[in-house]
Amino acid sequence: MKTWWEETLHSSFQLRLRVDKLLHETKSEFQHLMVFENELFGRVLTLDGVIQTTERDEFIYHEMLSHTPILAHGDVRNVLIIGGGDGGMLRRVLMHPIIENVVVVEIDGSVIDLCTRYLPSICGDAFNDLRTEVVVNDGASYVAECNRRFDVIIVDSTDPLGPAEVLFEHKFYAGCKSCLAPRGVIVTQNGVPFFQGSELSTSVGLFRSMFIDVTCFLAPVPTYAGGFMAFGWASDDTSLRPVSVDTLTDRICNINLKTRYYTPEIHKAAFALPSYIEALTAPT
């Protein structure tokens, strides 16, 4: 008889996945980790009862949160990833040959160990790339003490629960801004606005107090139920977001970038917000 895993993220909405084979389950210093196989989604990673990524649909999330800021910028050399222990974001970032260094700051080193063992289809050899630097530390502490500058900062965090709660606060975002290069951009995971509107509103509101150009962009990720997922965007360079389809196309062709979801047209369309999401990001 098959067992079923139930997500605990929402109190009045339930998402269930069948556990066809349990591969690993443990409790680290920070959280409960689980990897199992599901016929539809392949291997699934959950942390503290919440889906983090699946083999079947991870490409949508990782492509949009990595390629969008990097291709909009056009001259990214140094990238900081906060979180991202599954390696999917790192692998996409490293597809850009111009990038010289990627720092991954993951609070729970056991996530990296688990994913390199059980989810190699997601991380590939990214953690072995010579451009990769892994720091096992709290992301908020890292940016507060960092004296380096990054062209792109990607906050690939869990929802604001447990160890990730500090990654949605003013102090953390201010630390990120201090680590950004002059034309830099920060992008963030901001949940599904249909269910988690306050998560997006809070981040965007904090960004508005620090950055000139602030908004979010969207992508539908099947296992993140509730419709579009939102990604925060903040920069002081107002020329990055209006980049044209032709320019994006040229940049993709120049590096022969292969994607499964991201396209220049999707890039531009992702910033067109439905009214209910636009209302969540409007100045108060």
pLDDT classification of 157: cutoffs 50, 70, 90: confident
Residue for token pair 């108060």: 284
pLDDT classification of 166: cutoffs 50, 70, 90: confident
Tens of pLDDT along 220-233?
Answer: 999 998 999 999 99
pLDDT classification of 147: cutoffs 50, 70, 90: very high
Q: In Å, how far from its chain's centre is CA 42?
A: 20
pLDDT at 130 over 70: yes
Tens of pLDDT along 244-274?
Answer: 999 999 999 999 999 999 999 999 999 999 9
Tens of pLDDT along 69-78?
Answer: 999 999 999 9
Pairing of strands 150-156, 180-189: parallel
| CATH 3.40.50.150 boundaries in the chain | 58-281
pLDDT at 144 over 60: yes
Tokens of 53: 């990524």
Tokens of 10: 């929402």
Catalytic residues, which ones?
156
pLDDT classification of 161: cutoffs 50, 70, 90: low
List of residues 6+ apart from 106 with CB closer than 8 A: 83, 84, 85, 112, 134, 135, 136
Residue 168 is predicted with a pLDDT of 75
Q: Is the dihedral of CA 165, 30, 122, 80 positive or negative?
A: positive
Which residue type is seen at 239? S
Q: Which residues of 29-55 are buried (b: 16+ CB within 10 A; e: fewer)?
A: ebbebbbbbbeebbbbbbbbebbbbbb
Residue 55 is predicted with a pLDDT of 98
Pairing of strands 42-47, 32-38: antiparallel
pLDDT classification of 162: cutoffs 50, 70, 90: low
Q: What is the mean pLDDT of the chain?
A: 94
| CATH 2.30.140.10 boundaries in the chain | 3-54
As a whole number, mean pLDDT of residues 9-21 equals: 92
pLDDT at 163 over 80: no
pLDDT at 150 over 90: yes
The secondary structure of residue 152, as a DSSP letter, is E
Tens of pLDDT along 31-75?
Answer: 999 999 999 999 999 999 999 999 999 999 999 999 999 999 999
For the domain made up of 58-281, the CATH class stated in words is alpha beta
The fraction of the chain above a pLDDT of 70, given in percent, is 97
CATH homologous superfamily of 3-54: Spermidine synthase, tetramerisation domain (2.30.140.10)
Residue 3 is predicted with a pLDDT of 93
